[in-house]
Amino acid sequence: MTTTESGAPPASGGTGPADLQERFEATIARDQRVEPRDWMPDGYRRTLIRQIAQHAHSEIIGMQPEAAWITRAPSLRRKAILLAKVQDEAGHGLYLYSAAETLGVDRAELNDRLLEGRQKYSSIFNYPTLTFADVGVIGWFVDGAAICNQVPLCRSSYGPYARAMVRVCKEESFHQRQGYELLRTMTRGTKAQREMVQDAVNRWWWPSLMMFGPPDENSPNSAQSMAWKIKRHSNDELRQRFVDMTVPQAEALGVTLPDPELRWNEERGRYDFGTPDFDELVRVIKGEGPCNAERMERRRTAHEEGAWVREAAAAHAAKQASRSKRGMAA
Ligand code: BYC
């Protein structure tokens, strides 16, 4: 039963627009979940479809940079680990598309929006993976950033999104550890391996900080998304958390983060750090990053090559449905 902020049922119990809005706001105020069949404002639905779909696209496009190393992984063990990780990302994309579908949008339509450039995916996946150390650094930085960003999303106000995030975050934690473990192995190896790790750290650090989005004063969606408790923290707050979490790990690993302004601030009890190049973020989001064209081309080809699988699955589902209908009629 729906109740008001005080815990009592709404006085009117009515179904007029004002009653529905009041019930929705009370649900948000009490930190309860909004579920697919509940009434919700159009803007809330649109925001969720945008964020969840773009998150799903990021998981699917995000398979590409690391998948490029599956055939070149240096051992059977590393190959098996990497295969499993990339498959996990596909799974995350699927949970997220399913969560988006609970909002009344079709997955095929979301895919069209991606392929036609009407929806975005994370900027981070538009950078190249030049060496095997990049696989470790993606696990450490990119999955680490994903954890900072996504653990609070487990408390997001929309039920299916929040629940999908619980499993995604468990898997991201495993991914981060595999990246860190790979880098620990490499930094204990040869001089050339240590240099490879440092080079990858230098290239991925700033793009990883950009994953959190524009600074708060230039983030048009944050205020409303936070009021609706879709987002629980601002972009800058999450970026700071990531820096605070990562600096000690870099020290333990023996690598240097490429930021001359990085230092501990005793007063704030947090690290001060330099400003990422947000003009670069804008360019990459606009499609001008080093690998945007390649990523989209690969996704388009994969979609076309998968057409027969979708047709076969649809034909199989139709056959099963007609069989069970005949079974019921008999
Ligand atoms: N890249 O008002 P703002 C992963 C867009 S997958 C591209 O702050 P919002 C993984 C933003 O969409 C990680 N676009 O927006 C996978 C908005 O444009 P629209 C993906 C960005 O939504 C495989 C505009 O800029 N994670 O972990 O309040 C292997 C203004 O921004 C970016 C998620 O998707 C960017 N970096 O906040 C390994 C998490 N930043 O949509 C790992 C869920 C901003 O108005 N999403 N934009 O056209 C979020 O938490 C939020 O959507 C964001 C942006 C923090 C990303």
Residues 6+ apart with CB under 8 A from 105: 49, 53
The continuous run of DSSP H or E covering 143 comes out as: helix 143-150
Q: Is 283 left (phi over 0), alpha (psi -120 to 50) or beta?
A: alpha
Indicate the top mutation candidate among 177, 178, 278, 285 to test ligand 1's pocket, ranked by most ligand atoms within 8 A of CB. Answer: 285
Q: Tokens 């179904």 identify what position?
A: 15
Position 330 scores a pLDDT of 67
CA 223 to chain CA centroid, Å, is 20
Q: How far is the centre of ligand 1, averaged over its atoms, from the C-alpha of 13 (Å)?
A: 38
| pLDDT for residue 3 is more than 70 | no
What's the rounded Cα separation, in Å, for the pair 297 and 140?
27
CB 160 within 8 A of CB 96: no
CB 144 within 8 A of CB 248: no
182-193 pLDDT tens trace: 999 999 999 999
Q: Is the CB of 276 under 6 A from ligand 1?
A: no
Is the pTM value of this prediction over 0.85? yes
Residues 6+ apart with CB under 8 A from 159: 33, 34, 35, 36
What's the rounded Cα separation, in Å, for the pair 268 and 258?
22
Q: Which two tokens stand for residue 221?
A: 């969606």
CB 132 within 8 A of CB 69: yes
Query: Helices (DSSP H) in 72-130: which residue ranges?
Result: 76-101, 107-115
Residue 118 identity (one-letter amino acid): R
Phi, psi of 264 (to 5 degrees): -70, 130
Closest ligand 1 atom, residue 92 Cα: 16
Q: Is the CB of 225 under 6 A from ligand 1?
A: yes
Q: How far is the centre of ligand 1, averaged over its atoms, from the C-alpha of 179 (Å)?
A: 22
| Mean pLDDT, all residues of the chain | 95
What's the rounded Cα separation, in Å, for the pair 183 and 180?
5
Please report, rounded to a whole number, the percentage of residues in the chain having pLDDT higher than 70: 96
Q: Is the CB of 53 under 6 A from ligand 1?
A: no
Q: Tokens 């989001």 identify what position?
A: 285
| pLDDT for residue 98 is more than 60 | yes
Position 8 scores a pLDDT of 41
What's the rounded Cα separation, in Å, for the pair 12 and 87?
50
| pLDDT for residue 2 is more than 70 | no
Residues 77-103, mean pLDDT to the nearest whole number = 97
Q: Residue 296: which pLDDT band, with cuts at 50, 70 and 90?
A: very high
Nearest Cα neighbor of 299 from 16, 65, 33, 39 is 65
| pLDDT for residue 276 is more than 70 | yes
The continuous run of DSSP H or E covering 4 comes out as: none
**Number of C-alpha atoms within 13 angstroms, CB side, residue 267?**
1
Query: Helices (DSSP H) in 219-258: which residue ranges?
Result: 222-227, 235-253
| pLDDT for residue 256 is more than 80 | yes
111-145 pLDDT tens trace: 999 999 999 999 999 999 999 999 999 999 999 99
What's the rounded Cα separation, in Å, for the pair 277 and 279?
5
Position 4 scores a pLDDT of 39
Residues 59-76, mean pLDDT to the nearest whole number = 97
| pLDDT for residue 12 is more than 60 | no
Q: How far is the centre of ligand 1, averaged over its atoms, from the C-alpha of 285 (Å)?
A: 10
What's the rounded Cα separation, in Å, for the pair 54 and 117?
11
Q: Is the CB of 292 under 6 A from ligand 1?
A: no
Position 9 scores a pLDDT of 44
Closest ligand 1 atom, residue 122 Cα: 1
| pLDDT for residue 1 is more than 90 | no
